[in-house]
Amino acid sequence: MQSEGNLFDGVPLHADEEAFTELFASLRVRIERIVSTGQASPETTWFDQTWNEWVIVLAGEAVIAFEGEHEHKRLRPGDYVFIPPHRRHRVAWTDPGRPTVWLAVHFDAEPPSSASGQARTSPPAESAHADG
User: Is 88 in contact with 67 (CB distance < 8 Å)?
Assistant: yes
Beta strand ranges found along the chain (DSSP E): 19-25, 29-36, 52-59, 62-66, 73-75, 80-83, 89-94, 100-107
pLDDT of residue 111: 52
3-state helix, strand, coil in the chain (%, to 5): 0, 40, 60
Report pTM.
0.80
pLDDT given for residue 36 in this prediction: 98
Pairs from 79-82 (Cβ < 8 Å, separation ≥ 24): 80/54, 80/55, 80/56, 81/54, 81/55, 82/52, 82/53, 82/54
For the chain, 132 residues long, give each residue's pLDDT as a single digit of tens: 768 899 999 999 999 999 999 999 999 999 999 999 999 999 999 999 999 999 999 999 999 999 999 999 999 999 999 999 999 999 999 999 999 999 999 998 765 443 433 333 333 333 333 333
With respect to CATH, is domain 19-107 assigned 2.60.120.10? yes
